[in-house]
Amino acid sequence: MRITEININLRDEEKLKAFVNITFDDVFVVRGLKVIEGGQGLFVCMPSRKLQDGTYKDIAHPIDNGFRNEIESLVLKVYRKLVGENQTGMHRVVDFSFEA
């Protein structure tokens, strides 16, 4: 599977930096990923829901670490590019050939 589109909604919040939707092979979309600023830098959270006990459970997530790293790397590359250009709001990205 390859990522064919990233829709990213940049946020100006302390920890939440963006909401992200990813399209795979132009036929399958996963909505609700987040770019978070943590204690050790930026990372990507998979879509999740809050359980009654206050914990969160992933709705969808890669079961292969290599694929997870590929998703996180590309999402953060797009995020950093847009932030570096002082962009705000929602952006649709389909060309990933730029330098991070």
DSSP structure string for 29-75? EEEEEEEEEETTEEEEEPPEEE-TTS-EEESS--SSHHHHHHHHHHH
Q: Parse the chain into domains and list their residue ranges.
A: 3-93
pTM score above 0.85 = yes
Mean pLDDT for all residues in the chain: 94
How far apart CA 66 and CA 64 sit, in angstroms, is 5
How far apart CA 75 and CA 82 sit, in angstroms, is 11
Q: Is 78 a residue whose pLDDT tops 90?
A: yes
Give percent of the chain above pLDDT 90: 93
In tens, the pLDDT along 33-71 reads: 999 999 999 999 999 999 999 999 999 999 999 999 999
Give me the mean pLDDT over the 11-26 stretch: 96
Q: Which two tokens stand for residue 49?
A: 């829901």
Task: Look up the CATH number of domain 3-93.
Answer: 3.30.1120.40
How far apart CA 24 and CA 87 sit, in angstroms, is 24
How far apart CA 7 and CA 22 sit, in angstroms, is 6
Q: Tell which residue, 12, 13, 18, 46, has the closest CA to residue 31.
A: 46
Q: Is 100 a residue whose pLDDT tops 90?
A: no
